[in-house]
Structure 1
Amino acid sequence: MNLSRRNFHRLTALSALTTATSGAALLGSSSAALAANTAYVFGYFKETPNQSGDSYALHLAVSPDGLNWRPLNQNNPVATPTAGTQGLRDPFILRKQDGTFVVLATDLKGRIFNLNNQYLHVWDSPDLRSFTGYRRIRMHGLNTHTWAPTAFWVASRNQYAIVYSANNGRDVLMANYTSDFRTVSANEVYFSPSFNVLDADIVADGSTYYMYYKNLDNGLLYGARSSTGAANSYTTYTSGLRQGNAIEAPLLIKNNTGSGWRLWGDSFSPVNNDYYAWSSSNVGGNSWTALNQRDYTPPLNAKHGSIVGITAAEYDGLVARWGLPAWVRLKSYNFPDYYVRHASNLARIDPYPFDPHQDQLWRLVPGLADAAAVSFESVNFPGQFLRHSNYAIRLDPNDNTAAFRADATFTRVAGLADGTWSSFRSYNFPDRYLRHANYVLRIDPLSAGSSASDRQDATFRVS
């Protein structure tokens, strides 16, 4: 079986709700659902290469733009299963017709995938600030897995469809229907083409249902569509997509603003980049443009999750309830899958993921020599700071000398390569900037006349 299952979902932003056309997905009728979505929340579980950062529980992150994410609750769980395997993968968040939320997840803990399970985990939530009514629902009586749930409203049935990955002799998508996410109809095969499939994400836009899935036979992602959303009614209309060495768990999401769409895919291996993304102005076409990793930053260690559009009030409520992280990461501008980390007391950039993952976490504190500037304190080695020594950047304990405080202080300015990013000028050598060279950090003289590559080396996203 393939590795981790993940399914992303989203809520299409509508300026007002009208009566749905036949088969269209509605957002609901509560005041929260009626308000325009201006931000996004991301639910996921976590894995790292050596398993030290694994967490098979529900985590949340938020983003105003749906591209750059900040974990909530210090990237600790907000809900953990207490039955079945007592772990989850592939959490899926759906806003129901009444504007509240339901969370579905695979009942599976860890990385052993030959354990068949007939159940899904389920929680109810009015606002994703609390989770109640925890239960498991039995989807079938077959000797097969129940992976990567997605759900959507089917107006013609006045019910929700729950679609998930299973096996009936080959890998197919199955579906059950429900009104309350407590009792479900008998399972049925939902999508079974001439090849093995996995990980559907289904979005209704107007009267058309779009389903993106993984073709297991060739490892690519495809889009299919249907005018009814009924079982076995989909026709594939796109060519195959992949970024990186491998990909699965496609997510299709309509932007909160404008008519654009994004498609996400999970690398499914915790030793590779977690996510890749595409954009398109026409979901019904066959034209997806790969986004530069410079344009997006997934939540730290996030795997196989789901995205939902939320209102400004809901965003503020989530931040108030769970809190934004007390640490930041520094992402390289010209190597956007690389992050600043310490290793053997030296500072460098390395491609993420890596372990210990905490080596890339920094407390951005008032400058030790000038409170108007900044200093970088290590999260996993508190009291140790990035400082320059003979122009090389090291992680050293603060000895509280004036020289150390000056060496560890940097003035944050607009990015030399991109003003929406950041650059950091040395406090005591103000013609020199923090930059990477051969992946190692140092301070070097830079100016407006410096080469484009030098300016890029000195530009970072604080996320």
Structure 2
Amino acid sequence: MKKLFYIVSLLIATVLNVQAQAKKDIYLFAYFKGNGEDGLHLAYSADAYTWKALKNDQSFLTPTVSNDKLMRDPCIIRGADDLFHMVWTVSWKDKGIGYASSKDLINWSPQQFIPVMANEAGARNTWAPEITYDEQTKTYMIYWATTITGKFNETASSEESGYNHRMYYVTTKDFKTFSETKLLYDPGFNVIDATIVKDGKRFIMFLKDETRQPPQKNIKIAYADQLEGPYSTASAPITGNYWAEGPTTLKTGNDWMVYFDKYRDHQYGAIVSADLKNWTDVSDKISLPKGLRHGTILSIKAKELKALLKQ
């Protein structure tokens, strides 16, 4: 009788575990390879440490907009409408970004070019756009880094082609009409690769200090009470003695995990913190598809992963 009870208990525990796993969200990494010519790549993970490429690491979406037709720095979020909304860098020198949406991450809407910097004659680029949704205002904010010739001369430099970025943004409720472009963040230094997440009642911006001399090239944090800011002074670096860019973050339990590209070392890094102040490097514990470059992480459902695995 005891043996039968044990077997039944084991079966019940197994079923409950399977059900729990089925309900558990999966982490999805959206990224590009090379120069972004072939488009969107996806990888998944159950634990946020070991990542496996989907579709044999072939592209899920080939870029079609702008003269350069690139799809660099893809950012995907699940919208309030339950659609996946994606923006990306279309070119090194264009004045706009790419946009598309999808119900399943497999079939995508026609790609659009959004000319977010078209009214700035001196705008040289629009790099690494991202989207964050504001539940309070039911508005999406799209933000990116741009250098505008003649602005912010106090941090101008002749190095690295004279790029001297600040963060800019537009807002939208439907991805059809957009607000005018505004300055989002001027931290007093050359800044790129911002990603913003909600944390309780505040917003956290992870960003790259792009200063070349004296070299920074690290990830920092700023905070705001509203999505559109104003954002605080940037923190001290949270990354180590290497050049880092392209931060993307997720939360596992109570821990914040930040992934970033150690681009000079041709490898990815990751750090973990429970308080956003004390960080532990876990770069030696992560495993990613070879050649993965700057992207973003989001959560998907098990049934959505199942469909992706069939591709």
TM-score (norm: length of structure 2):
0.81
Deviations 1:50-85 (A, max 9, x none): x8xx74411111111121111111111110111212
Aligned to 1:281: 274
Compared CA separation, residues 221 and 238, structure 1 to 2 (3 A) = same
- Choose the corresponding residue for 2:190, options 182, 191, 196: 196
Do 1:140 and 1:186's aligned partners in 2 also have CA atoms closer than 8 Å? no
Q: How does 1:38-187 map to 2 (within 5 A)?
A: 38-47=25-34, 55-84=37-66, 85-108=68-91, 113=92, 116-141=93-118, 142=120, 143-168=123-148, 169=151, 170-187=164-181
Q: Deviations over 1:233-270 (max 9, x none)?
A: 11146421334631111112112xx221101111234x
Provide the rounded CA distance (Å) in 2 between the counterparts of 1:167 and 1:135.
Answer: 23
Contact 1:267 1:275 in 2 (8 A): yes
In structure 1, how many angstroms separate the alpha carbons of the residues matched to 2:296 and 2:218? 20
Supply the distance in 2 between the matched residues of 1:212 and 1:58 (Cα, whole angstroms).
23
Cα gap change, 1:221/1:79 in structure 2, threshold over 3 Å: closer, same or farther?
A: same
How far did residue 292 of structure 1 move?
A: 4.0
> In 2, distance between residues paired with 1:42 and 1:185?
29
Ranges in structure 2 where 5+ consecutive residues have no aligned partner:
1-21, 152-163
Q: Percent identity?
A: 28
* Change in CA separation of 1:241 and 1:41 when aligned onto 2, cut-off 3 Å: same
What residue is the counterpart of 2:302 in the other structure? Answer: 312
Going from structure 1 to structure 2, the CA distance change for 1:173 and 1:56 (only over 3 Å counts) comes to: farther
Deviation at 1:222, TM superposition (A): 0.5
Q: 1:263 aligned to 2:253?
A: no
Q: Point out the structure with max Rg over C-alpha.
A: 1
Q: CA deviation at 1:129?
A: 2.1
- Residue of structure 1 equivalent to 2:9: none
C-alpha separation in 1, matches of 2:191 and 2:24: 32
- Structure 2 counterpart SS, 1:313: helix
* 1:280 partner amino acid: S
Name the SS of the counterpart of 1:92 in structure 2: strand
Rounded Cα–Cα distance in structure 1 between residues aligned with 2:305 and 2:47: 12
Deviation >4 Å, runs of 4+: none
Q: Which has the higher helix share?
A: 2
In 2 relative to 1, CA 315–185 (structure 1 residues): closer, same or farther, beyond 3 Å?
A: same
Q: Select between 300-309 and 35-44 the one with higher mean Cα deviation.
A: 35-44
- 3-state SS, counterpart of residue 309 of structure 2: helix
Alpha carbons 1:58, 1:88 under 8 Å: kept = yes
Correspondence for 2:206: 212
Task: State the shift of 1:178 in Å.
Answer: 0.8
SS at match of 1:317: helix
Q: Tell me, in whole angstroms, the C-alpha distance in 1 between the residues paired with 2:84 and 2:195.
A: 17
Give 1:290's aligned residue: 281
Q: Is the 8 A contact 1:105 1:122 kept in 2?
A: yes
CA distance in structure 2 between the partners assigned to 1:279 and 1:207 by the alignment: 21
CA distance in 1, matches of 2:273, 2:295: 21
AA of the residue aligned to 1:209: F
Kindly indicate whether the alpha-carbon contact (under 8 Å) linking 1:212 and 1:222 is maintained by their aligned counterparts in 2: yes
Equivalents in 2 of 1:153, 1:309: separation in Å? 15
Measured in 2, the distance between the counterparts of 1:199 and 1:281 equals 23
- TM-score, reference length from structure 1: 0.55
Q: Deviations over 1:71-105 (max 9, x none)?
A: 11111111011121211110001110022201110
Q: Give the secondary structure class of the aligned counterpart of 2:308.
A: helix
The Cα RMSD (Å) is: 1.9
SS in 1 for 2:204: strand
The one-letter code matched in structure 2 to 1:176 is V
Q: Distance in 2 between matches of 1:36 and 1:211?
A: 29
Q: Is the 8 A contact 1:244 1:267 kept in 2?
A: no
Checking the alignment, whether the CA contact within 8 Å between 2:130 and 2:195 is kept in structure 1 is yes
CA distances 1:361-391 after superposition (whole Å, capped 9, x unpaired): xxxxxxxxxxxxxxxxxxxxxxxxxxxxxxx
For 1:244 and 1:68, the matched residues in 2 are separated by: 24
Unaligned runs of 5+ in 1: 1-34, 323-463
In 1, the alpha carbon distance for the partners of 2:268 and 2:294 equals 9
Deviations 1:158-216 (A, max 9, x none): 21000101123241000100112232111000000211111101001221100010111
**Take 1:282 and 1:313, find their aligned partners in 2: how far apart are those partners?**
33
